[in-house]
Each structure stands twice: as structure tokens, then as C-alpha cells.
Amino acid sequence: MTLLDVSIVNVALPSIQRGIGAGAGTVQWVVSGYALTFGLVLVSGGRLGDAIGRRRMFLIALAAFVATSALSGAAPNDVVLVVGRLLQGCAAGLLTPQNSGLIQDLFRGAERGRAFGMFGAVVGISTAIGPVLGGVILALFGEQDGWRWVFYVNVPIGAVAFILAMRLVPAKAGRRTELRSEIDFAGILLLGLAVLAVLLPLVESEQDGLRRLWWLFPAALIPGVAFVWWEHRVVRHERSPLIDIRLFTSTPGYASGAALGAVYFSGFAGIWLVFALFFQQGLGYSPLQSGLSVTPFALGSAVSAPLAGRLVPRWGRKLTVTGLSLVITGIGVVALLAWRDPAANASLVLAAPLLVAGIGGGMVVAPNTTLTLECVPTRMAGVAGGALQTGQRIGTAIGTAVLAGVYRLMVTATHGNYPASLAIAMLCSAGFVLIALALGAGELRARRAQRSAERLQDVTYAAPSE
């Protein structure tokens, strides 16, 4: 639900404008406000789960998400809708890190890989299926009030999930400590300011935010550096940090895996808005037809992600390298075919390369999550998952702003040549994924070198006894 609500609202924006008379700037905040608060509270949500118990935090955040979804659906005007979406984003940010934290708590070894494989399938499907589901809902409930059901759909799903979580997720005794001593409020403030400074120009990019707010990017260095200094100080004084910096400096594979995830999401998550613009504005497709045109990617991801989760213990980082190679191949072929102007049968022509890219995408998210978190201590599982997700949300914002901006710029420069504009945007996406591939290949070489060193050390120790 939390990832679905990132993309499902895009197709409902015209319906929202007609339904409550919202302006273009206000409607943009229906999308951007959710993404902003989602990214802001992810790490804090993970830390709260570590401190008061992930099952308890999961139930609290899930109830809040359902309530704020209902508030957004019932909004009588645009102000209430934007407030509802901001609160819904906060609830999503509190809820999401509990998923990876619970998997870390409840599963070990090959079982953990399979659990993350299912998790990766859900990530891939929910991100890609949003436009399809939004189009179906609007077709069923009409353009005037169909947008309300885009939010209402979370209520029954969330209610069932709440009952199942109460029954199936085992309770764990919480630590008898004061919450005030467990939560690093100064760290939350500093990290929140840094993330806000990075995300705000990006989520405002549709309203010329990059030109007006570019100065926030260098300004983000001030709270960012202050946050790192503060967290080191908290650890030296043996208190509980928001993020233990040793996650990045001393936990094998975490820093490189987090960077890979952020860069991959920059190339992967941004293509959905570009496809929506291409199919709806360029080719005149309905929202439903536009959504159905990108379902091959979701289908490929749904098939490969659970299989990839099972193969992580055997293949390791080779899985993500192979998956990233397939994503680049699929997106590159999409760019080539788009350049040749497929016109009316574009959805059929692009189906096969999108399927290949989807199969590759399913081999990236789940294995990378498993490998990134495999050496993280259980006590830091929530905050580690939150930091990983924060990088992905920032990557999503960057990719959406860059790819959509490139596409619109090319449409203007080519006087409405939509296929050529799609091709250039897809090449930009492939560029992001190529950087992720380089990071994955570097991590693969590092793991091989470490294994070789360990084998050599074992031989050296064994030699005297022989």
C-alpha cells in the first residue's frame, strides 16, 4: 500500500482537479507532499521500531495509514486533501521500515532470502501496477469521484492486514526503558533538515522548484555534516544514536548496497511518469490503457523476484549484477524501438523489452536488500532498513525529476516528437542503472577478494599442522 500510493495517484490527478477544483500547484502537492513526508520519517520510524518493538510500531503505523487514507478520500476541499496526504506519508514512513526489520527478526539464512524475495516481488509489482490499478478504479467509479476510491481502496486492505498482523506476527517483549532515552531527537531534527533540503527542490520540480530552490542542495551539507558529527558524539557517550555511523563504515556491504539501491531507484522509479506522459499525452491513451502498456515490467518482476530470493545464498551479488545487466538491455531496446517511432502499436512493440527489464528488476531489489542487510546486527535492523529505504526514496525523487524533466525538454526541443523524447529519457534511465551496475560489479569483486583472502588465511593456518 505504501509504495502503491506513490504511483497510483498520478493517473488520478486530472480527476482530483475536476472533483474539488484544485489548482495545478495544489494537485502537485498531493503527489509531492506524500513523497516528502514519507522520506523524512523513514529513519525515525525504523529507530522507533527498534526501541518500542517492531510489531507494536507496525500496528500503530498501519492503523494511522488506514485512517489517513480514509481522511484523504473523504476530503471536502484541496487543503484537507493535502494535509491528509502529508499525514499519510508520515504513516507510510513509520510503517515501511518495520517490514525489513521484521524479516530480519523472524528469519535466518535461506529463509530470509526467500522472505526478501517475496518482499522484492511486492516492491516491484506495487511500484509498476499503480498506474494500472488507478486506471481501473477511475474506469469503475467515474472521473468525477473516482479519485476518492484511489484512497479508499487502502481501508479494507489495511483492515485485513491489521487483523492478520495481530494473529500472525509474534509479539516480542519490549525493553523497559524511557522512550526519551532511546530516541535521538537532535539527530532526528538534523537528518530531517538535510533530507528536506534535498527532497524539497525535487518534489517541487514541476513548479520550477529546481531553479527556485537549487540553493537548498549545498545548504543540505550543513545539517548533514552536523548530523554525522552529532551521531559520532552520541556513540562516544554510549547513548542510542538515530543512525549508528558504523553501519556505513564497519558493516560489510551496507554502504555499497545502500548506494546501489539509491542509484538504481533513480533510473527505475522515474520511468513510470515518463511512460504515463508518453502514452497519454503523446499517443492519446486512456489512463487504463497507459497502465496496461507497462504491465509486462510488473509481470517480469513478479516472476523473477521470488526466484531470485531463493538463489541469493548461492549466487550472492552475481544476481544483482545479472539483473542490472538485463534492466539496461531492456531499457536500451525500449530507447532504440522508440527512436524508430512505433506509433499506434507502441504498447505491443515495447512489451518484450519491458518484460526483460522487469525480469532483471526482480533480480535487483530483493537480493540487494538481503545482501545489504545480511551483516547488520538485529538490534539495528529497523534503522538500517529505514536508512536503506530513505536512499531509495531520494533516488526515486531524483529520477522522477530528471527523467520527466528531460522528456518534457525534448518534447519542446523536437516540437512534439514524443517517441524521440521517450528514447532520450530511457537512455538517461539506462545511464543511472549503468552506474548501479558499476557499484554492483565493484562489490562483487570486493566479496571475491575477501573470500580469496579468507581461503589463503585458512591454508596458512593449516600448514604447520600438516
Confidence of residue 336 (pLDDT cuts 50, 70, 90): very high
Cβ atoms 276, 290 nearer than 8 A: yes
Please write the tens of the pLDDT for every residue from 193-219: 887 888 778 767 666 767 788 888 899
Neighbours of 415 (CB within 10 A): 6
Lowest mean pLDDT among 165-174, 200-209, 305-314, 346-355: 200-209
Domain annotation for the chain: domains and CATH numbers: 4-170+242-462 (1.20.1250.20), 184-241 (no CATH)
Mean residue pLDDT of the chain comes to 82
Please write the tens of the pLDDT for every residue from 421-464: 999 999 999 999 999 999 999 888 887 777 666 666 656 655 55
115: its cell numbers: 522472505
Rounded to two decimals, the pTM is: 0.80
Neighbour-count burial for 177-210, b at 16+ CB within 10 Å, e otherwise: eeeeeebbeebbebbbbbbbbbbbbbbbbbeebb
pLDDT at 182: 63
* Residues whose CB falls within 8 Å of the CB of residue 243, separated by 6 or more in sequence, listed in order: 43, 47, 187, 191, 231, 383, 387
Q: How far apart are CA 113 and CA 313, in angstroms?
A: 7
16: its cell numbers: 482530483
Cα dihedral: 131, 129, 270, 201 (round 10): 70
Neighbours of 168 (CB within 10 A): 7
